[in-house]
C-alpha cells in the first residue's frame, strides 16, 4: 500500500497570505489528523477529520481550518499567515476505529517570511 502523501513538500509564503496544504491518506483509512511541529513547541495536534466531519480540534486560532473530502483526502488552510506559523505540518491517517495506529506523511515545510 502507498503511504500517506502530502503536497507540497516545501512552501514559502509572506505574512498576511494564506496557504492550503493537502494530504492523501493510506487507501482505506477514514481518519486524517493534522499536527504542527516546531522546535519550541514540539508536535501539537491541530484537528482530526473522520468521514468528512471534524471529530476533534486542538488549541489553535480560527485561522487554522481544515476539511475532508468523500475520498478521505484532506486539506488544511491557514489564513493571514504570521511568522510564528513557520513549521513542519504533518498529516497522519488511520483506519478510524479508535484507538488506531496513526501513520504519518513526510510533512509540508512552511516558511513564512
Partner 1 sequence: GENVEQHPSTLSVQEGDSAVIKCTYSDSASNYFPWYKQELGKGPQLIIDIRSNVGEKKDQRIAVTLNKTAKHFSLHITETQPEDSAVYFCAASRRGGSEKLVFGKGTKLTVNP
Q: Which helix (H) or strand (E) holds 38?
A: strand 31-38
> In Å, how far from its chain's centre is CA 94?
13
- CB nearer partner 1, residue 75 or residue 103: 103
- Tell me, by CB under 8 A, how many residues bind partner 1: 27
Binding to partner 1 (CB under 8 A) within 4-63 occurs at: 4, 31, 33, 35, 42-45, 48, 50, 55-56, 58
Beta-ladder partners of 10:
109
75 binds partner 1 (CB under 8 A): no
87 binds partner 1 (CB under 8 A): no
Backbone angles phi, psi at 79, to 5 degrees: -100, 160
**How many other CB atoms are there within 10 angstroms of residue 75's CB atom?**
17
- Nearer Cβ to partner 1, position 33 or 72? 33
For residue 105, state whether it binds partner 1 (rule: CB under 8 A): yes
Amino acid at each position: 500500500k502507498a503511504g500517506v502523501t502530502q503536497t507540497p513538500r516545501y512552501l514559502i509564503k509572506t505574512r498576511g497570505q494564506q496557504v492550503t496544504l493537502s494530504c492523501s491518506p493510506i487507501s482505506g483509512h477514514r481518519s486524517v489528523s493534522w499536527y504542527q511541529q516546531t522546535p519550541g513547541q514540539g508536535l501539537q495536534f491541530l484537528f482530526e477529520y473522520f468521514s468528512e466531519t471534524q471529530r476533534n480540534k486542538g488549541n489553535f486560532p480560527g485561522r487554522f481550518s481544515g476539511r475532508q473530502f468523500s475520498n478521505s483526502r484532506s486539506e488544511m488552510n491557514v489564513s493571514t499567515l504570521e511568522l510564528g506559523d513557520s513549521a513542519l505540518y504533518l498529516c497522519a491517517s488511520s483506519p478510524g476505529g479508535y484507538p488506531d495506529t496513526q501513520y504519518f506523511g513526510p510533512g509540508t515545510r512552511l516558511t513564512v517570511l
